[in-house]
Amino acid sequence: MEFNFMFYSFASFFLIFLFRCLFKFFKSNSRELPLPPGTLGWPYIGETFQLYSQNPNVFFASKQKRYGSVFKTHILGCPCVMISSPEAAKFVLVTRAHLFKPTFPASKERMLGKQAIFFHQGEYHAKLRKLVLRAFMPEAIKSIVSDIESIAKDSLQSLEGREITTFLEMKTYTFNVALLSIFGKDEVLYREDLKRCYYILEKGYNSMPINLPGTLFNKSMKARKELAQILAKILSTRRQMKLDCNDLLGSFMGDKEGLTDEQIADNIIGVIFAARDTTASVLTWIIKYLGENLSVLQAVTNEQEAIVRGKEKCGEEQTLTWADTRKMPITSRVIQETLRVASILSFTFREAVQDVEYEGYLIPKGWKVLPLFRNIHHNPEIFPDPEKFDPSRFEAAPKPNTFLPFGNGTHSCPGNELAKLEIMVLLHHLTTKYRWSMVGANSGIQYGPFALPQNGLPIRLTRKP
């Protein structure tokens, strides 16, 4: 009797559970919107290799041509919806930004640190953004122009008369500027240890997240742990010396901010990541485009030499100031056009915090959403003859939501002023004091994760007589 009672009780509960599930299924199915068109590729791997091993223009354009401006795919272990119109980018990044939290695949969060600014929204994000802007806004970085200039001059001088790989050397330059902006003039004390660990970390950044001994991902995670230990020592030293610094670390360490050491470390590592390879990629492309467009190079050189002559005429020191960098409109347009054509950041990651409807399609909760900046920047209806390098197109301001090299909305890059400053400073000395010639064939492009000139753009750099 007791067994029968238990059996019938279980059966009753099971039937009730089954009916509820069926009811929810049919109810949801009756309202369910279709997923965007597209393919998900291989299990787990998805279409990751196709994205990172070929011309991103080809990958994205072929998808858009076949499926339209909204389509699904699967990369880095995540189901994704990709969007490729200015209207869609505005929807995700600005008008409905609260429905999409900034995110990266879990493997990226583990490498950079889950407390980094990239992965949050709301009050915590707002506080971090305020602290970063406090260190990177024009009023703050005006004071380090001369220090950035010293790094630029030393970098170029060390390369004179040599055949170099442009991207590797620009990575060193931007890494040193990033450390300066984070740690102030004390960065030289930590530079080599931080560089050693960070270089290992970055090698596995776009590897498959397989944490087995010997894999790139495993080596990167070990380097990430050591990097956090180095930062912990730096924090301890600053507290012991009771230094009051105006750099990014000082901004993070303010007593009233209440950030933990883990939060500070995650955000320092995140800022290094954001500040280094992207800016180095832009500089590499600028050097290539200037070398291929001699009339543009001459215009930039004339503009920079005019600044030098102006200082000589006034008897001023030949040291760049913030005011000098405001006298570089042609150079500024070259930077803008490079950001458009090269589209260093092809897309950004967001994650739907709830089911979202867009243009009749369902974007399921938890799916990644990728606004495709590259597609927007190469849309011939927005930028005629989009493959042509033509800085003059920026003599007029682009239409809203069509030029997004630093993202858009509350999560746009807070370090864009610093990036533009370090590019301008290096270009000033490069064009006024040096010549360069490209070595070998340079028509090819390599990928992973950023699009770069083939072999990182080998050049020979010589000083002008």
Candidates 33, 27, 3; CA nearest to 360 is: 33
What is the rounded CA–CA span in Å between residue 231 and residue 321? Answer: 31
Is position 197 annotated in a ligand binding site? no
Burial bucket for residue 54 (CB in 10 Å: 0-12, 13-18, 19+): middle
What is the rounded CA–CA span in Å between residue 132 and residue 413? Answer: 10
What is the rounded CA–CA span in Å between residue 378 and residue 392? Answer: 16
Q: Which residues contact 319 (CB under 8 A, 6 or more apart)?
A: 146, 149
Task: Kindly state the tokens that stand for 388.
Answer: 């042509």
Question: How many helices (H) and strands (E) would you count in the chain?
Answer: 18, 12
| Residue 224 half-sphere exposure toward CB, CA atoms < 13 A | 25
Name the one residue in this structure whose structure tokens are 């600053």. Answer: 238
**Contact 251/130 with Cβ under 8 angstroms?**
no
Buried b vs exposed e over 149-158: b needs ≥16 C-beta within 10 Å?
bebbbebbee
Q: Give the count of beta carbons closer than 10 Å to the beta carbon of residue 134.
A: 17
Burial bucket for residue 1 (CB in 10 Å: 0-12, 13-18, 19+): exposed
**Contact 226/199 with Cβ under 8 angstroms?**
no
What is the rounded CA–CA span in Å between residue 184 and residue 189? Answer: 10
Q: Which helix (H) or strand (E) holds 197?
A: helix 191-203
Task: Kindly state the tokens that stand for 187.
Answer: 């960065």
What is the rounded CA–CA span in Å between residue 109 and residue 400? Answer: 31
What is the DSSP code (8-state) at residue 215? S
Residue ranges of the annotated binding site are: 413
Residue ranges of the annotated binding site for heme are: 413
